[in-house]
Amino acid sequence: MTRAKPASFAKTKSRAAPNPSKDTTGITRVAAIQMASGPNVAANLAEAERLIGMAAAAGAKLVALPENFAVMGLKDTDKIKVCEQEGKGPMQRFLAAQAKKHGIWLVGGSIPMACENPAKVRNTCLVYDDKGKLVARYDKVHLFGLDLGNERYSEESTIEPGDRVVVVETPFGRLGLSICYDLRFPELYRAMGDVDLIVVPAAFTATTGKAHFETLIRARAIENLAYVIAPAQGGYHVSGRETHGDSMIVDPWGNILDRLPRGSGVVIAGINPTYQASLRNSLPALKHRTLECRKGIKVEVIKP
């Protein structure tokens, strides 16, 4: 069921932060889009266009799409048939055009991008600025695998992993990029350094999502004292797969500011840098770290 949804805040019980800031200057509205994508790229882009328009009309300046927003095929190999070279193809043209049209920063969830292995793709998150310029690319590092007997997934059979952590300097703060299964690996986020926002485009299964999605999203927000924007796939897909949904935006104290359990739609919230700074001053956990992240990991900080 598709529905328009106004911005709302703190729909779950809030856990009050110490000395919360009353200063509302500098607040920026951000949006996470939820979809139930299918195998038809054109149809998925049309639905994404409608939802991006809703988010922009509600005042969002940063909009994030879910993982695999442009295609969720009948078979895992279907994405290989529609994968794109960087800078070419309808999915990338769509993202650039939408960012420019609405004057927003647009996080393109993930799309399949070609790699050297013709039997695989990269699962790639692309970020466009408000002029429609590509400013960052992140290739999913951690590939999902699950075997519950009657439910099996093996992303490594069709996806080549990335090898870089990517952070983007935006007008709204430092934005760390990740995709879905990355969420289970906190060392990825620690390697980002002090990020202000984290985006997690997802397509969690109904099984794992029900058990872990909210817990992991809120944990990443709390431990990094960062806003987390989590746009997700949510519903039944033509392939027979069911995704969890529950797209949400979480503040640095772990409060869920807005969420959408199922179906297509938009969640919107305001990010407040003054409030975030006050939390980090009150609880300087990021300054209390004593253990270094694993050495040798490549971290790319992009300053458009």
Mind telling me the catalytic residues? 67, 140, 180
Measured distance CA(262)–CA(193) in Å, rounded: 33
61: left (phi over 0), alpha (psi -120 to 50) or beta: alpha
Q: Exposure of 218 by Cβ count < 10 A (0-12 exposed, 13-18 middle, 19+ buried)?
A: buried
> Which residue(s) pair with 250 in the sheet?
228, 256
Q: Where are the beta strands (DSSP E) in the chain?
A: 28-34, 62-64, 105-107, 111-114, 121-128, 134-139, 145-147, 152-154, 164-170, 173-177, 197-199, 227-230, 234-236, 242-244, 247-250, 256-260, 265-271, 298-302
